[in-house]
Amino acid sequence: MRMTHDQMYSRILASDASWNGRFFTGVLTTGIYCLPSCRSKKPKPENVRFFPSCEAAQAAGLRPCLKCHPDDFARGSDPVMETIEALVAEIRRQPAAFPDARSVVRRSGFGTTRCFELFRQHFHSTPADLLLRARVDSARRRLVDSDAPQAAVAADSGFESLSSFHEHFRAQSGMTPSEYRRLRSEDTFRVELPRDYCLSHLLRTLGRDPHSVTERFDAGAYEAAMDLDGVPGVVRLRFRPGAVAAEVGAAGRIGPPQRVAAHRAVAAILGLGQDAAGFARLARRLGLARLVAGRPGLRLSLTPSVLDGLLWCIIGQQINLPFACLLKRRLVESTGTRLAGGLFALPAPERIASLEPDDLRPWQYSRQKAEYLIGAARLVAARTLDLGALAGMSATRAERTLLAVRGLGPWSVNYLLMRSLGFADCIPLGDTGVTSGLQALLGLEERPDADATLRLMSVFSPHRSLATAHLWQINRPPP
């Protein structure tokens, strides 16, 4: 895609990392060149010249910036990001080694402001929030894998007190630690919903495809076929006031890994752990309380698996929702596995990888959609694309990894980052629900273009995924 000077300039104003590598910014007054994401002081438009490569910038007599390291990026290495990724891996491995967010900042080697910026850019999070999630994840593992008493689990995971352990564990998991531990032996569990939870919005999302063969929704109950740590299974949810009762069933043997996977999928579907209150406060502070009016507790419901999201965003491109549902149904009925009770498990990537584009023509797939779908499935089957690893990566690396997949553009990639990987600060650029939502929210004469969307959405950082969820609702009647 050819971009104009103004379009590229707007990317550097937004410090938009997704454009890194597509062009380099030369600043004539300072004699340096940068990545679009560089956080240095923004140059005036008349002093900026854009280059397609580092070499071109050097040929014009410019030197690489010492803050954003454009040469390292062009070589495929990104030392600043890698430092933060290594630090996050260390936090996740040993959260108890970090008593607080200050210790994270100290270990990063960056100043506080810069460290916060980097956590926000690469992980859509703050050091404190990332540390807290790592503690809860560590505690979940210890509760299931060991018989250690709760006080020991709390201390070994880095919680300073038993009460803080309980509070955060419940907020992230919807269960107490003792209830969670019962996943070792019981096929039913109960997840408590946050007090402000918008259940009717969730139910509308879950029921959007009445003919789905992978999920079924009726009379207040929902069931979905899903992969439970390698075993195809079905999770049934019944909605009670303030809570959800879940029941796990599977074709094969159900053990703790299957129940843990089922709980993780249910927490994702419910959007537990998302900072809905934080976003609602931000919206009010911006004078945009109407964006959250009537649904301040809205969460973004995630797909039960990354494969679900990947298939869905390729199938759903360029077509309307009912037709996308129909195409998905045909693929799953023909290639998926029928489970007891009549639902179908999604086909394994290997199954889709074994198809040829012509095989999908009778199901009304366009040639291009068929090629994209099979191509992506082949990458997954060949382990070139590791779907399970994406959620543990930095958002930046996950984004770059997915952008390299043919058929996934910025919209699809951000959709996946947001709805399948749970990153908090994404915008599916070009999404008509977002642009018409912004138009309605701000009373604009026309729908904003990509640059205007980026600029208007920037005030919602680091909660742009939740902003998107609200914008999707703004032109719809309440459920």
Q: Is 71 an active-site residue?
A: no
Please tell me the distance from the alpha carbon of residue 402 to that of residue 394, in angstroms, as a whole number.
12
Give the position of tokens 């967010």: 101
The residue among 34 and 377 lying less far from Zn ion, judged by its C-beta, is 34
**Residue 104 beta carbon to Zn ion: minimum distance, rounded to whole angstroms:** 24
Q: Give the per-residue contact string, 221-260, with Zn ion (x = CB under 5 A; - = no).
A: ----------------------------------------
**Residue 51 beta carbon to Zn ion: minimum distance, rounded to whole angstroms:** 13
Helix ranges, 354-463 (H): 357-360, 367-381, 387-390, 395-403, 410-419, 432-442, 450-457
Distances from the Cα of 215 to the Cαs of 19, 173, 203, 228, 332, in angstroms? 37, 23, 13, 15, 11
**Residue 67 beta carbon to Zn ion: minimum distance, rounded to whole angstroms:** 4
Please tell me the distance from the alpha carbon of residue 408 to that of residue 137, in angstroms, as a whole number.
30
Give the position of tokens 């014009």: 60
**Residue 75 beta carbon to Zn ion: minimum distance, rounded to whole angstroms:** 16
Stretch that binds Zn ion, among 8-16, 35-43, 373-381, 412-420 (CB under 5 A): 35-43
Active-site hit among 275, 431, 449, 451: 431
Among 8, 34, 88, 353, binds Zn ion (CB under 5 A): 34
The residue among 34 and 346 lying less far from Zn ion, judged by its C-beta, is 34
- Residue pair 423/124 in contact (Cβ under 8 Å)? The answer is yes
The residue among 34 and 314 lying less far from Zn ion, judged by its C-beta, is 34
Neighbours of 242 (CB within 10 A): 11
Please tell me the distance from the alpha carbon of residue 355 to that of residue 378, in angstroms, as a whole number.
10
Residues 55-114 that bind Zn ion (CB under 5 A): 65, 67-68
**Residue 40 beta carbon to Zn ion: minimum distance, rounded to whole angstroms:** 5
The residue among 68 and 225 lying less far from Zn ion, judged by its C-beta, is 68
Could you give the strand order of the β-sheet that contains 188-192, starting from the edge strand earlier in sequence? Answer: 188-192, 243-250, 231-240, 221-228, 215-218
Stretch that binds Zn ion, among 36-44, 317-325, 383-391, 398-406 (CB under 5 A): 36-44
The residue among 48 and 474 lying less far from Zn ion, judged by its C-beta, is 48
Instruction: State yes or no: residue 281 binds Zn ion (CB under 5 A).
Output: no
Using only C-alpha atoms, the chain has a radius of gyration, in whole angstroms, of 23
Instruction: State yes or no: residue 38 binds Zn ion (CB under 5 A).
Output: yes
The residue among 63 and 406 lying less far from Zn ion, judged by its C-beta, is 63
Instruction: State yes or no: residue 284 binds Zn ion (CB under 5 A).
Output: no
Report how many residues bind Zn ion under the rule CB under 5 A. 6
Neighbours of 140 (CB within 10 A): 23
Residue 245 bridge partners (DSSP): 190, 238
Give the active site residues: 431
Positions that interact with Zn ion (CB under 5 A): 34, 38, 40, 65, 67-68
